Amino acid sequence: MTLSRRSFFGSTALTAGAALVPAELFARAGALAPSPANLQDWDAVRGLFELSPDWVHAGLFLLSSHPRPVREAIETMRRKLDANPADAIEEGAFGPPEHNLGMRAAAAVARYIGASPDDVALTNSTTHGLAVAYHGLPLGPGDEILNTAHDHVVHLETVRLVSERCGASARRVRLFEGHDASAATAEGLVRTLRDAIAPATRVLGVTWVHSSSGLKLPLRPLAEAVREVNAKREPGRRVTFLVDGVHGLGADDPRVAETGIDVFVSGLHKWMLGPRGTGIVWARPELWARMRPIHVSYSSEELYAAWMEGRPPRPPVQASWFGPGGFQAYDHIWAIPAAVELHEAIGPARVKERILALNGKLRRELGTMPHVRMRTPKDPALSSGLTAFEVDGLSPDDVVKKLRAQRVIASTSPYVPTYARLSFGIANSEADVERSIGAVGGLRTA
């Protein structure tokens, strides 16, 4: 007998007639709330954020401010959970697909990236997603994980932990000297990574948009290069192409599942403007089938049924086996569709164009200043929403402090070497960019 998740956790006997959680909650939960804002007007879009007007917020790529539709969706979920936690969880977390809000969240992200909902696992961050993906891959002694020297500490440390656990080796390739990507070319990046793939390489793990330099890697040409390598290999020796996409998702072309990559990991609380503590892993179904979960999931009916019936779970392994276990911040998870629908209502192409316009203007102007050293490519094909730079005579920390004194919130990159960074998204205005340009320009006399 197959037992449902409700049976596993202990049903509260919720029925359509007895439900204390209104059915319309599950029909509309997490959806973009009606708003008088004209989403074709960038000033109106900026008005969706409750950012302090006293500052130029040029560091929102670290953690997004929740826009109004996301705030409202979270609040709706919170009220329902606080009013009747048992019924809200039973229906929203463990209910059938038409009411299951976790499934609805995964489906919204899948629609946005051009994937099947069955191939998306929810996580709480990019860090969590990298652990789910790397630890889940079937790796062992003799296998190699290839990364770049420019990836974030959580990416490289995840690889170190995986290597120590399973006996695989790890190697890094440098794409350019230091983190100065300003002279990088698409052809050179692809060639360097392609040439670095060795016979033992089983995973190529890269970062779509580097927070160290602002460089954006060309995913489609890289995926094609990996495909060419794999065409000459037996199935068990092929390379899995894994991408940390947290600074590209929500800022660039969204349909990453159609680029030819194999695994995509991202948090949703940065450029996607999603609820804090949310993220995803997408992988091709044939790859999920070879992977193994690293923790118990509450997202799969099959796992619970197998345990209750005293048998192994029936294959194939699916993305739902990798979802979060334990009770979660459901008010945030269930509000994910609001962020996706906001992007869809504005238009992903318009969002990308806006981000490129604001940051492109910054890069052009800083590039003309004799006291500024740009570390991000000016080419929009190789850059997105992050700009890294140095100022003659000042450390990056001093640059950030002096900009902050002018009410401009910048940041430093947590790498060696480190650079100052400015970043603008759809919560910013042209005036923010102008103020930042003027503030950096004034540093030449500091």
Q: What percent of the chain has pLDDT over 90?
A: 88
- pLDDT at position 445, please? 58
DSSP H helices in 119-233: 126-136, 153-166, 186-196, 219-230
Please say if the pLDDT value at position 2 is more than 50: no
Q: Specify the pairing of strand 263-267 against strand 386-391.
A: unpaired
The answer to whether 272 touches 249, Cβ cutoff 8 Å, is yes
Q: Specify the pairing of strand 279-283 against strand 263-267.
A: antiparallel
Q: What percent of the chain has pLDDT over 70?
A: 91
- pLDDT at position 20, please? 42
Stated pTM of the model: 0.93
Share in percent of the chain as helix, strand, coil (round to 5) = 45, 15, 45
Helix (H) / strand (E) containing 263? strand 263-267
Q: Specify the pairing of strand 386-391 against strand 120-123.
A: unpaired
Q: Which two tokens stand for residue 421?
A: 């960074």
- pLDDT at position 52, please? 97
For residue 319, give every residue at least 6 positions away whose Cβ sits within 8 Å of its Cβ, in sequence order, or none: 106, 118, 119, 120, 121, 281, 282, 283, 285, 288
pLDDT single digits (tens) 400-438: 999 999 999 999 999 989 999 999 999 999 999 999 999
Please say if the pLDDT value at position 19 is more than 80: no
Question: 3-state DSSP call for residue 172?
Answer: strand
**What single-letter amino acid sits at 11?**
S
Q: Report the distance separating Cα 356 and Cα 382, nearest Å.
A: 11
Please say if the pLDDT value at position 284 is more than 90: yes
Q: How far is CA 231 from CA 4, 199, 204, 225, 251, in A?
A: 42, 13, 16, 10, 32
Please say if the pLDDT value at position 375 is more than 60: yes
Nearest one of 219, 223, 216, 162 to 197, comparing CA atoms: 223
Q: Specify the pairing of strand 169-173 against strand 201-207.
A: unpaired
Q: Report the distance separating Cα 335 and Cα 80, nearest Å.
A: 13
- pLDDT at position 10, please? 54
The answer to whether 26 touches 105, Cβ cutoff 8 Å, is no
Q: Specify the pairing of strand 279-283 against strand 120-123.
A: antiparallel
For residue 134, give every residue at least 6 positions away whose Cβ sits within 8 Å of its Cβ, in sequence order, or none: 145, 158, 159, 162, 203, 205, 242
- pLDDT at position 165, please? 96
pLDDT single digits (tens) 243-259: 999 999 999 999 999 99
- pLDDT at position 180, please? 81
Nearest one of 321, 338, 446, 440 to 67, comparing CA atoms: 338
Domains and CATH numbers, the chain: 101-343 (3.40.640.10), 348-445 (3.90.1150.10)
Helix (H) / strand (E) containing 77? helix 68-83
Please say if the pLDDT value at position 22 is more than 50: no
The answer to whether 29 touches 104, Cβ cutoff 8 Å, is yes
Q: CB 178: neighbour CB atoms within 10 A?
A: 15
pLDDT single digits (tens) 221-237: 999 999 999 999 999 99
- pLDDT at position 25, please? 52
The answer to whether 282 touches 78, Cβ cutoff 8 Å, is no
Mean of all residue pLDDT scores within the chain:
92
Please say if the pLDDT value at position 3 is more than 70: no
Please say if the pLDDT value at position 329 is more than 50: yes
- pLDDT at position 231, please? 98
The residue that leads in pLDDT, 320 or 1, is 320
Please say if the pLDDT value at position 30 is more than 60: no
